[in-house]
Amino acid sequence: MKQLLSTMAGTVFTIGVSEGDEVTAGQTVLVLESMKMEIPIEAETAGKVATINARIGDFVNEGDVLLTFE
Amino acid sequence: MKKVLIANRGEIARRIIETCKKLHIETVAIYAEADADLPYVKEADTAFLIGPSQVQQSYLKADDILALAKREGVDAIHPGYGLLSENASFARKVEESGMIFIGPNPETIDKMGDKIGSRQTMIAAGVPVVPGTEEGVHTLEAAVEEAMRIGYPIMLKASSGGGGIGMVRCEDEQTLSQNFMSVKQRAKAYFGDDVVFLEKYIADGRHIEVQIFGDTHGNIVHLFERNCSVQRRNQKVIEESPSPDFPQEARERLLKAAVDAAKAVNYRNAGTVEFIVDENNQFYFLEMNTRLQVEHPVTEEVTGFDLVEWQLEVAKGNSLPITNQHEIQSTGHAMEFRIYAEDPKTFFPSPGTIKTLQWGSMDHVRIDSGYEEGNAVTPFYDPMIAKVIIKSDSRQQVIAHAQNFFASVTIEGVKTNVPLFREFLGAQAFQDGSYTTAVLPQWLEQQKEEK
């Protein structure tokens, strides 16, 4: 199972996908707010979203699992 | 005033401590867990851990800060910039607790924090404002109708916005429709208020602001202007004074409008009136910042005054150190460069430990730094590491000193925008001084095309 990890610490600002969605490589799936900037987090590879492990407003650390793919 | 609590962090906390030391005022610092090793914590006479790293759990905990201030018996609280500095309810609580808030009246903060309200105040005072809606627009339909009246392109803005957040330029009805809900959502998320309004977009505009100062005896003066048009993502990167390519006649009108704006709200302490200036040197009020600005050193360098000292004097109830406008002179030229821990191309933040911090050539250079070698830039706060301020006789000389400085600086461990300054200082558009707020994004595009 593939996981998408947070590239940096920040607050989850928006989540652009739902569980079960098919995403393409490079698609922005989530936006973090960190250091007064909005940082888009992209899917590294294409796949189907199995679980979303973060909620809007959560503070995540670098390396935390944001999504898992089937 | 014998003891001051500084409700801030990093370089501005350090800057305030420096002036307090000069004036033999005792300082109390607060810090979050992530900031325990920063220089300001050691430089304050006493420092207290206020909470975990996130600002909501530390620097924004107004009641905890107030309780600490009371326990420590401080006479006044300096809020710095950002964080609680423009929080009217905090200012009010400070005063209700019998301490001095080093800043304007809470009522002024409230009035100027609401962009729609401040536009109305300025219209009444005869200060030109950007053509736009007089009230908030609540629905997309209303926004589309108003935009038709104003004419595209327009700026869609959050009434409570600031710091470049909560504003989007809309070219046409389609982009307005696409952005309307997201700007409202951002405004709600960042500022807790989703009221938005529309302004005409001023093409080829320059951002020029005026430093003003008022006391409790009715004196109001200006300390000249700063041109802050070099920006990325609507946030300032370089500021300078005097503004280049700005005729004396227009400068005088601008300075007068700023003083009129300050008088309209009976302004107290340090403030900045921001204007957008078009290609014909017509200017329009944008907003008033009711605090000391990040870029205040530019003004300190050309006027020779310590603005934090002025803030403390006024807060004590004394008159401004100089009340006669004619005795305030601007000499030479000054520029400030904001060093950010960020990727110089994508502008994404780059937290990490500063392994090497060697400033190199210090000729004509002042550095206001929040960090030292070995400190960590953490992901919890603004990515600004330091401000480099250069003062000389002429703009040309300032640029030459800046080029020497940036050629000799070494920062390792985090990515910074130093490489960007090295290149951009040589750009024709910057060197000739005629630049607008589009200068940096346009120059970056051009660099990409040339490669």
For B313-347, the pLDDT digits (tens) are: 999 999 999 999 999 999 999 999 999 999 888 88
Distance of alpha carbon B116 from alpha carbon B197, whole angstroms = 7
CB B317 within 8 A of CB B24: no
Number of domains forming the structure of chain A: 1
pTM: 0.92
Residue from B168, B377, B380 whose CB has the most chain A CBs within 10 Å, to mutate: B380
Helices B296-303 and B307-315, packing angle to 10 deg? 100
Distance of alpha carbon A26 from alpha carbon A40, whole angstroms = 10
Window 101-130 of B: residues touching A by CB (8 A cutoff) are: none
Tokens of B302: 């050309």
CA distance readout (Å), B292 to A29, B58, B91, B312, B350: 38, 21, 15, 12, 27
CB A32 within 8 A of CB A12: yes
Average pLDDT over chain B, rounded to whole? 95
Tell if the CB–CB gap between A36 and B351 is shorter than 8 Å: no
Q: Supply the pLDDT for residue B192.
A: 85
Residue A66 lies in a domain: no
pLDDT at residue B164 above 80? no
Give me the amino acid identity at B250: A
Residue A33 sits in a domain whose CATH number is 2.40.50.100
Distance of alpha carbon B287 from alpha carbon B160, whole angstroms = 11
Tell if the CB–CB gap between A36 and B165 is shorter than 8 Å: yes
Domain encompassing residue A50: 2-60
Torsion of CA B336, B397, B245, B165, to 10 degrees: -20
pLDDT at residue B388 above 90? yes
Distance of alpha carbon B198 from alpha carbon B272, whole angstroms = 22
Assign domain B3-102 to its CATH architecture: 3-Layer(aba) Sandwich (3.40)
Tell if the CB–CB gap between B189 and A13 is shorter than 8 Å: yes
Percentage of chain B beyond pLDDT 70 is 100
Average pLDDT of the residues in B38-47: 98
CB B425 within 8 A of CB B399: yes
Distance of alpha carbon B204 from alpha carbon B173, whole angstroms = 21
Predicted confidence band at B69 (pLDDT cuts at 50, 70, 90)? Answer: very high
pLDDT at residue B212 above 90? yes
Average pLDDT of the residues in B72-98: 97
Q: Give the closest residue to B118 by CA, choosing from B82, B151, B160.
A: B160
CB B50 within 8 A of CB B59: yes
- Which member of B163, B165, B349 has the closest CB to residue A34? B349
B181 Cβ under 8 Å from any chain A Cβ: no
Q: Supply the pLDDT for residue B186.
A: 85
pLDDT at residue B162 above 80? no
The CATH code of domain B131-200 reads: 3.30.1490.20
Distance of alpha carbon B417 from alpha carbon B237, whole angstroms = 9
The DSSP result for B247-271, as a single string, is -HHHHHHHHHHHHHHHHHTT--EEE
Q: Give the closest residue to B220 by CA, choosing from B264, B286, B276.
A: B264
Torsion of CA B237, B19, B104, B124, to 10 degrees: -50
**In chain A, whose CA is at the least distance from the CA of B385?**
A35
Average pLDDT of the residues in A38-46: 90
Q: Give the closest residue to A59 by CA, choosing from A40, A33, A41.
A: A33
A55 burial via Cβ count (<10 Å: 0-12, 13-18, 19+):
exposed
Q: How distant is the alpha carbon of residue B239 from its chain centre?
A: 10
Q: Supply the pLDDT for residue A53.
A: 95
Q: Give the closest residue to B204 by CA, choosing from B431, B436, B440.
A: B436
Q: Supply the pLDDT for residue B233.
A: 82
Predicted confidence band at A8 (pLDDT cuts at 50, 70, 90)? Answer: confident
pLDDT in tens, A9-27: 888 989 999 999 999 999 9
Q: Supply the pLDDT for residue B329.
A: 98
CB B400 within 8 A of CB B43: no
The C-alpha angle B126, B294, B116, rounded to 5 degrees, equals: 35
Distance of alpha carbon B45 from alpha carbon B47, whole angstroms = 7
Predicted confidence band at B348 (pLDDT cuts at 50, 70, 90)? Answer: confident
Distance of alpha carbon B324 from alpha carbon B375, whole angstroms = 44
CATH topology for the B206-450 domain: D-amino Acid Aminotransferase; Chain A, domain 1 (3.30.470)
- Which member of A13, A35, A59 has the closest CB to residue B349? A35
Q: Supply the pLDDT for residue B97.
A: 97
Predicted confidence band at B20 (pLDDT cuts at 50, 70, 90)? Answer: very high
Residue A37 lies in a domain: yes
CB B158 within 8 A of CB B183: yes
pLDDT at residue B451 above 80? no
Residues in B closer than 8 angstroms to A10, CB to CB, are 379
The DSSP result for B159-180, as a single string, is EEEETTEEEEEE-SHHHHHHHH
Q: Any bridge partners for residue A5, and if so which? A: A65
Q: Supply the pLDDT for residue B234.
A: 81
pLDDT at residue B444 above 80? yes
Average pLDDT of the residues in B370-399: 96
Residue ranges per structural domain of chain B: 3-102, 131-200, 206-450
Distance of alpha carbon B255 from alpha carbon B140, whole angstroms = 37
pLDDT in tens, B244-293: 999 999 999 999 999 999 999 999 999 999 999 999 999 999 999 999 99
Percentage of chain A beyond pLDDT 70 is 100
Q: Supply the pLDDT for residue B107.
A: 96
Residues in A closer than 8 angstroms to B165, CB to CB, are 36
CB A44 within 8 A of CB A25: yes
Residue A69 lies in a domain: no
